[in-house]
Amino acid sequence: MSELPTGETPRPPRRKRYSGKNPRNFEDKYKEHAPEKYPETVAKVLASGKTPAGSHVPIMVEESLKALKLSPGMTGIDATLGHGGHALRILEQIQPGGKLLGLDVDPIEQPRTEARIRAAGFDETTFEAVRSNYAGLTKVLAARQLEGVDFIYADLGCSSMQFDDPTRGFSFKHQGPLDMRMNPQRGLSASEWIERTKPEKFTIALEEHADEPRAGRLSEALAGRVFKSTVEFANAIRSSMPGLDPDTIDLTVRRVFQAVRI
């Protein structure tokens, strides 16, 4: 690196240029990668009732806080930290003296959320981000010599950031690898799971996780096959139901993706 004259601060790297008015590829979508730097855009999207890409709007915040009956000094668990929307509101209410452990399995989003929570003023004495499945909660507590906590909060499912990032492969709306793992470092990708799954088991997944009425027919067409991308899988679902109207086909694609995600 070249030396800078004393007193000069290095310039931040220039943003990558893309052709056209708006970035097309997810990696070029600078606002999605750092929504906190664009508060006006975020406010505009929120006011329209939508979720700004790259972030997550927490649901039922007031109802959740009321049910938790929080007070200063409490120690508790957010078992599904996500974007940290609930965690931040919980943290405000358990200070002074309180501590929150925020669990999540997602190694990509969790460090970003931890950084946001630190930037909001919560240090290690008030908040700890823990990479763990909530199934391992007893181990997390034992490792910290905690015999119990005052509350455990969980907001189950996927986060909007996971859906928005095409490289995670959660959504049929974006071209990406058919992955769908909340922790891409562990377990089978969706693509591997579909390839290894027999039609009978695939049918059960479609029925139990998505109430899919055409489970048998779809399983015969899809189970055991190799689909590398989200779009390839979505197209295979569509073409296995010739003659159905577009709305029914669209709903079926959504249900099959939901079942495989679960």
Binding site for ligand SAM (CB under 6 A): 56, 58, 80, 82-86, 103-106, 109, 133-134, 155, 157-159, 182
Q: Which residues pair with 100 in a beta bridge?
A: 76, 127
Rounded to the nearest 5 degrees, what angle is found at the Cα of 233, between the Cα atoms of 173 and 185? 80
For residue 109, give every residue at least 6 positions away whose Cβ sits within 8 Å of its Cβ, in sequence order, or none. 82, 83, 159, 161, 162
Q: How far is the CB of 58 from ligand SAM (least distance, A)?
A: 3
Measured CA to CA, the distance from residue 108 to residue 181 in angstroms comes to 11
Residue number closest to ligand SAM, CB atom:
82
Cross-sheet strand order for the sheet of 127-131: 127-131, 99-104, 75-78, 151-153
Q: Which residue number, 164 or 237, has a Cβ lying nearer to ligand SAM?
A: 164
Q: Which residue number, 83 or 215, has a Cβ lying nearer to ligand SAM?
A: 83
Measured CA to CA, the distance from residue 249 to residue 242 in angstroms comes to 9
Closest CA to 160 of 35, 17, 246: 35
Q: Which residue number, 83 or 99, has a Cβ lying nearer to ligand SAM?
A: 83
Q: How far is the CB of 47 from ligand SAM (least distance, A)?
A: 19
Closest CA to 182 of 84, 104, 87, 257: 104
Q: Which residue number, 136 or 199, has a Cβ lying nearer to ligand SAM?
A: 136
**For helices 215-222 and 230-239, what crossing angle results, to 10°?**
130
Q: Which residue number, 84 or 98, has a Cβ lying nearer to ligand SAM?
A: 84
Q: How far is the CB of 133 from ligand SAM (least distance, A)?
A: 4
Q: Which residue number, 35 or 82, has a Cβ lying nearer to ligand SAM?
A: 82
Q: How far is the CB of 251 from ligand SAM (least distance, A)?
A: 22
Q: How far is the CB of 71 from ligand SAM (least distance, A)?
A: 21
Q: How far is the CB of 77 from ligand SAM (least distance, A)?
A: 11
